[in-house]
Amino acid sequence: MTAKDLSHLLSIEAKTRRPSPLKTAFKYYGKPDIVFLGGGLPMSDYFPWDKVLAYSPEPPFADGIAAKPTEGKAVISELHKHKIEEFDVPLARSLQYGHTEGQPELLKFVKEHTALIHKIPNEEWDVVLSVGNTQAWDATLRTFCDPGDSILVEEYSFPSALETASPFQVDYVPVPMDNGGIIPEKLEELFENWDASNKKPKLLYTIATGQNPTGSSLSAERREAIYKIACKHDFLIVEDEPYYFLQMNDYKQGASEDPKHSYDEPKQTHEEFLAALVPSFSHLDTEGRVVRLDSFSKVLAPGVRLGWIVAQKKLLERYVRLHEVSIQTPSGFTQSLVQGLLGRWGQSGYVDWLIALRKEYTIKRDFTIDVLHKNMPKDVVEFFPPSAGMFFTVVLDASKHPDFKTKFASDPIKVETAIYEAGLEKGCLMIPGSWFQSPNFKPHDNTFFFRGTYAAVPLDQLKVGLERFGEAVKTVYGL
């Protein structure tokens, strides 16, 4: 299947960007018959790193991902200036200029991984490395949005992503969502009622799995319906998916107290793990209208500042031109170190890692929801176990507060603020949901929520924090 030509969706900036003439000469660099006097490249002999050693845990991570690598049970990446292992990125190359798309060995790994996970139906997909999804989203906005364009966003979304978009002077169109994320019928309705004098939105920005902040995940059926709407109304789907691999087993109440918890069940096979992942938008992408932003931040470490963009080749080429004159490419140390590890783990070891990571998050999610069951006053609070990601929400009904109409002047935000402050007084910080409201979105009712994460602290602290938050809610509601 071939991708559609979507060049009409490019921004003026992307359309007018030309390759740097100096960069075009680089294809001759390293050719044995050419003495290359063309670039300001320092000789790698002058790079003051001869060898880098890294110790990492060894697949299949039977003792958990937090177990320290020990003697005889460690993966040691020994990285040299010049190539020794076929899969390594030699320091002489990674620390040099060049390879805007990414170092070939790492690109190969990421491409094989993407093919394994997403099985993208159009043949023209490719990948380009990024400095993580923050940068990849900025690059996406530059590539597609002009001032006055509109973009579809979830009603509640990641504030940094919204802030990234603001200076592009785009108009935000909030898309209604529920516990399962974007509601496709409501998205369709938006287009049915679209004022024909306005240009239709260029793209949908969605955090489809383990959404930040709501913790919701789109089902396969909703993704299919949304993809069809994108084809019909000719917009791109930008899936920002740092939490994709934090998809968990189903929550069972009380499971965290049961020593025979489901996460102690026999380990999933790779096939079972892969089959249980919700299909991505990329998996549905027959037309080449999905831009997938993937990141190592939540699966390896945020500070590696490394991710990758998956899209059809023609669109990706515009990102490469942009990267040539902005990030150039992710840091050479990062590329050598990450590929040193992934090359040694192999695709299979990396899947082992993702399975082991999922187990950690399942334990934390189950524990969190069990503690919420014990500590939250159920008559005013609702919560839903997330199926993916790092976030959970506690939803409250302001109208159930006895003084809602009087003391709080029927304003749910005032109740939210009172709980936020009471939480701080008791010693627990959860983020008020209103901080995540997309521009142009007004809540439909008197409910409000707080976002918490089970990612950042160990279980004992989670328990203390949630007990304190429960106390704060009870105090404010006079319960």
* Nearest residue (CB) to ligand PMP, 240 versus 324: 240
Our finding on whether 307 is near ligand PMP (CB under 6 A) is yes
- For residues 255 and 252, what is the distance between their CA atoms, to the nearest angstrom? 5
Q: In this chain, which of 88, 155, 239, 240 binds ligand PMP, going by CB under 6 A?
A: 240
Interface with ligand PMP in residues 169-208 (CB under 6 A): 207
- 390 versus 472: smaller Cβ distance to ligand PMP: 390
Bridge partners (DSSP) of residue 381 are: 396
Q: Which of 132, 288, 423, 452 binds ligand PMP (CB under 6 A)?
A: 132
Task: Tokens 């490249």: give the residue.
Answer: 41
Residue with structure tokens 């740092």? 242
Contact 438, 153 (CB under 8 A): yes
**Using CB under 6 A, which residues numbered 242 to 271 contact ligand PMP?**
242
Q: How far apart are CA 369 and CA 385, in angstroms?
A: 6
Distance CA 163, CA 154 (A): 14
- Among the listed residues 206, 295, 335, 438, the single contact to ligand PMP using CB under 6 A: 295
Q: Are 393 and 214 in contact (CB under 8 A)?
A: yes
- 297 scored as a contact of ligand PMP (CB under 6 A): yes
The residue within the footprint of ligand PMP, chosen from 19, 167, 302, 377 (CB under 6 A), is 302
**Stretches 94-102, 128-136, 308-316, 412-420: which one binds ligand PMP (CB under 6 A)?**
128-136
Nearest approach, Cβ of residue 140 and ligand PMP (Å): 12
Using the rule CB under 6 A, is 102 a contact of ligand PMP? no
Cis peptide before 48 (omega within 30 of 0): no
| Closest separation in Å from C-beta 164 to ligand PMP | 9
DSSP class per residue in 275-323: HHSPPPTGGG-SSS-EEEEEESTTTT-GGG--EEEEEEHHHHHHHHHHH
Candidate ranges 12-20, 75-83, 126-134, 367-375; the one touching ligand PMP (CB under 6 A):
126-134
Q: Are 226 and 192 in contact (CB under 8 A)?
A: no
Q: Interface residues for ligand PMP in 11-30 (CB under 6 A)?
A: none
Binding site for ligand PMP (CB under 6 A): 132-134, 158, 161, 207, 212, 240, 242, 295, 297, 302, 307
